[in-house]
Amino acid sequence: MSFNHFDENGQAIMVDVSGKQPTLRTARARGVVRMKPETLQAILDGCMSKGDVLGVSRLAGISAAKKTPELIPLSHPLAIHHAAVDFFPVPATGEVSVIATVRAFERTGVEMEAMVAASVAALTIYDMCKGSDKGISIGEVCLLYKEGGKSGTYRREGYDTDSEEGSGL
């Protein structure tokens, strides 16, 4: 097995992508935030003391996508052309799916940018609500979909690209 982030001496390196052709790359990732149903209802009603939880979390996620190379060692700085964070709340259960989508015309993929965006948006929800609900949990951060590049298209099993939330995932 060969590891492409290490040179022949075992030293960590950034993979050289300069010889690859740029292609349109898209990635979509999800994180799930679970809280008390009453906490989620307060978010949806705009009654949280720290303000617009989902609005601030959206901005945090988009910003995080752009800062991925500062957070993930050996990640390439990319010219991101599109970054979006959407929320799919289920008030009865207190669950919110955070869906991040990132797109770029680049030589390497944007999966990490989408995963970082979903993670940071979920963490921001936690930060803005922790004073009201200490039991909030974040989980199931995963890649739902990616396309572009040599490896082609990946779709997580059970994920429906026609449904933004992905068939309840």
Show which residues are catalytic.
127
Residue-level pLDDT at 153? 94
15: in domain: no
The parent domain of residue 81 ranges over 23-155
Residue-level pLDDT at 141? 97
**Residue of higher predicted confidence among 13 and 146:** 146
Give 68's Cβ-side CA count (13 Å radius): 24
Average pLDDT over every residue of 17-40 = 95
Render pLDDT for 107-125 as a digit per residue (tens, 0 to 9).
Answer: 999 999 999 999 999 999 9
Exposed/middle/buried for residue 140 (C-beta within 10 Å: 0-12, 13-18, 19+): middle
37: in domain: yes
2: in domain: no
Per-residue confidence band for 157, with pLDDT thresholds at 50, 70 and 90: very high
40: in domain: yes
151: in domain: yes
169: in domain: no
Per-residue confidence band for 74, with pLDDT thresholds at 50, 70 and 90: confident
pLDDT for 50 beyond 80: yes
Domain total in the chain: 1
| CATH number (domain holding residue 72) | 3.30.70.640
168: in domain: no
Task: At 156, give phi and psi (nearest 5°).
Answer: -60, 140
Write down the pTM of the prediction: 0.90
167: in domain: no
The radius of gyration of the chain from alpha carbons, rounded to an integer in Å, stands at: 17
pLDDT for 169 beyond 80: no
Q: What is the mean pLDDT of the chain?
A: 91
